[in-house]
């Protein structure tokens, strides 16, 4: 008979479980954005958002690995609603920036909960994710600025992404371990 792990659920672990859902949903939303750009024959934007999708998936799996390491029950959630209809590239980038800002608030809330519960190990775990959100918001803000400056000339955004490699940093050696390995 299999033994089920049943640790008491703290506020931090409830938020962590919810964040796994949020990260998987963000991954799915980024796929939708990438496919939209692919359909519009904008390969650099599509490539950028396909990579963002994989990154969000890896974040979700790092949260899963942390829960495994801490011997907590994990439930892999279904993905939430994903928006697929857009009228302009700026609209997609605005959605991505808003999504990253929401994640930053969620991670901050997790860190506060860990501190309030005097769970300093979990508080420390959230620090990498907080740092990551600063980078994600900065990169998406830059991309939005470039898109607004480009106006109707979406190929200027394409050239910018090709030239600047926004978000194409090598794997972060400080990232927490990812369940099953990072993609």
50-87 pLDDT per residue, tens: 999 999 999 999 999 999 999 999 999 998 899 999 99
The arithmetic mean of pLDDT across residues 101-119, rounded, is 97
- From residue 77, how far is each of 25, 36, 58, 89 by CA, in Å? 9, 25, 15, 29
pTM of the prediction? Answer: 0.89
| Ramachandran angles phi, psi of 104, nearest 5° | -60, -40
Give 108's pLDDT tier (boundaries 50, 70, 90).
Answer: very high
Task: Spell out the SS3 assignment of 67-114.
Answer: HHHCCCCCCCCCCCCCCCCCCCHHHHHHHHHHHHHHHHHHHHHHHHHH
Give 7's pLDDT tier (boundaries 50, 70, 90).
Answer: low
| Ramachandran angles phi, psi of 87, nearest 5° | -115, -20
Residue 71, phi-psi category: left (phi > 0), alpha (psi -120 to 50), beta (remainder):
left
Helix (H, G, I), strand (E, B) or coil at 170: coil
Q: Given a cut of 60, is residue 41 above it in pLDDT?
A: yes
144-179 pLDDT per residue, tens: 999 999 998 999 999 999 998 666 555 677 888 788
pLDDT of residue 80: 87
> Quick one: what percent of the chain has pLDDT higher than 90?
82
Q: For all residues of the chain together, what is the average pLDDT?
A: 91
Number of neighbours of residue 30 by Cβ within 10 angstroms: 25
């Amino acid at each position: 008979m299999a033994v089920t792990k049943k640790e008491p659920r703290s506020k931090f672990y409830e938020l962590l479980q919810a964040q796994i859902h949020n990260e998987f949903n963000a991954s799915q939303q980024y796929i939708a954005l990438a496919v939209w750009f692919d359909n519009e024959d904008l390969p650099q934007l599509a490539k950028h958002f396909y990579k963002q999708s994989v990154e969000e998936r890896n974040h979700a799996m790092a949260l899963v690995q942390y829960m495994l390491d801490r011997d907590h029950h994990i439930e892999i959630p279904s993905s939430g609603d994903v928006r697929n209809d857009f009228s302009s590239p700026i609209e997609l980038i605005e959605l991505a920036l808003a999504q990253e800002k929401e994640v930053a608030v969620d991670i901050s809330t997790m860190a506060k909960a860990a501190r309030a519960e005097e769970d300093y190990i979990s508080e420390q775990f959230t620090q990498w994710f907080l740092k990551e959100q600063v980078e994600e918001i900065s990169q998406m803000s830059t991309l939005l600025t470039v898109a607004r400056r480009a106006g109707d000339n979406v190929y200027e955004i394409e050239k910018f992404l090709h030239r600047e490699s926004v978000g194409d940093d090598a794997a972060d050696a400080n990232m927490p371990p990812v369940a099953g390995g990072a993609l």
